[in-house]
């Protein structure tokens, strides 16, 4: 961004459109005056998107969020942000304005946010369009954990597999994680606690990933992680860190000493391959991790 001419910086700074740029971790690295005013950002601030949304929600400002549980809304929104090259939606602000938002994500994970004020435009069907967007979101969301459901995470995998990347860059990595001995958790502590564990694991995984990384629940106690642009060698420390986060952060209230662990199988994605081929390869690696003693990551050979 340092290479931009002063005239372009001035244009970005004074346009009425809301313009922001996020890095792959979801941290705001540039915001023009209109963006800062709408989302209450102080000079020099570079907040994470999650922290910015959470702060404004609790202050009763910024984006109007009608979902009864903010954290569930946050997880559901994160399951879609940065997973496709361009994502657009209408949203309204607490001050009464309506915005048309377009988020464009580069292959390296950087995201451009552009918001246009459409408050004065014809609004007879605006609420209908917003209800449609909400219905689409629910169709893509796991109702328990609020992350991507199986259908949506598999759609994301299909999208990544057809991404055009230079031959020198990895397409990405796929990982399947499974909570170890989850039936024991349900039998010993009850299914309500089991559900709480699933929610806790999902939130822990999401917190440890970039915005452009995808997370979904395949069913039961099994999750899928997609790391676009990350080869198998680079994915290994990332995934091991996620396993460590789960074992140290996810606790069971009835027995705080109970150590919850996960096993994982990962593979590097190959351009042009079928999604079920990549899935089967990661699944076999997960089986090897389970057979090898659990609480470990295995890479597909």
pLDDT single digits (tens) 118-136: 888 756 666 666 676 777 7
Q: What is the pLDDT of residues 185-225, one digit of tens each?
A: 999 999 999 999 999 999 999 999 999 999 999 999 999 99
Token pair belonging to 55: 């702060």
Q: Which range among 1-5, 154-158, 286-290 shows the weakest confidence by mean pLDDT?
A: 1-5
Question: Per-residue pLDDT for 2 more than 60?
Answer: no
Q: Which long-range CB contacts under 8 A does 68-77 form with residues at least 24 apart? A: 71/146, 71/203, 72/146, 73/146, 74/50, 74/146, 75/145, 75/146, 75/147, 75/202, 75/203, 75/206, 76/137, 76/141, 76/146, 76/147
- CA–CA separation, 286 and 270 (whole Å): 18
Q: How many CB atoms lie within 10 A of CB 193?
A: 16
Q: 167 pLDDT exceeds 90?
A: no
Report the distance separating Cα 285 and Cα 265, nearest Å: 4
Number of residues written out for the chain: 301
Residue 3 has a pLDDT of 59
Catalytic residue ranges: 221
pLDDT tens, residue by residue, 273-289: 999 999 999 999 999 99
Cα distances from 272 to residues 86, 154, 247, 283, in angstroms, run: 22, 15, 36, 19
Check: CB of residue 246 under 8 Å from CB of residue 262.
yes
pLDDT tens figures, 220-249: 999 999 999 999 999 999 999 999 999 999
């Amino acid at each position: 961004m340092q290479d931009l001419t002063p005239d372009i910086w001035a244009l970005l700074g004074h346009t009425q459109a809301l313009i922001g740029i996020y890095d792959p971790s979801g941290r705001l690295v540039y915001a023009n005056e209109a963006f800062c005013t709408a989302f209450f950002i102080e000079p020099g601030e570079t907040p994470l998107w999650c922290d910015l949304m959470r702060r404004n929600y609790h202050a009763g400002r910024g984006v109007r969020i009608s979902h009864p549980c903010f954290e569930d809304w946050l997880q559901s929104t994160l399951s879609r942000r940065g997973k496709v090259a361009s994502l657009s939606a209408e949203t309204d602000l607490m001050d009464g304005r309506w915005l048309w938002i377009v988020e464009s994500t580069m292959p390296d994970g950087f995201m451009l946010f552009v918001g246009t004020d459409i408050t004065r435009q014809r609004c007879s069907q605006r609420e209908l369009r917003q209800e449609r967007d909400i219905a689409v979101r629910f169709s893509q969301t796991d109702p328990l954990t609020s992350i991507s459901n199986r259908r949506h995470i598999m759609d994301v995998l299909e999208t990544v597999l057809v991404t055009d990347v230079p031959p020198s860059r990895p397409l990405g990595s796929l990982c399947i994680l499974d909570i170890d001995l989850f039936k024991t958790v349900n039998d010993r502590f009850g299914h309500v606690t089991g559900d709480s564990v699933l929610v806790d694991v999902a939130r822990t995984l999401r917190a440890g990933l970039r915005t452009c990384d995808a997370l979904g629940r395949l069913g039961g106690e099994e999750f899928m992680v997609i790391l676009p642009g990350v080869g198998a060698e680079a994915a290994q420390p990332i995934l091991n860190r996620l396993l460590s986060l789960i074992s140290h952060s996810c606790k069971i209230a009835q027995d705080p000493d109970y150590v919850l662990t996960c096993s994982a199988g990962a593979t590097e994605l190959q351009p042009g391959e079928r999604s079920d081929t990549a899935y089967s390869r990661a699944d076999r690696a997960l089986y090897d991790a389970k057979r090898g003693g659990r609480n470990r990551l295995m890479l597909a050979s």
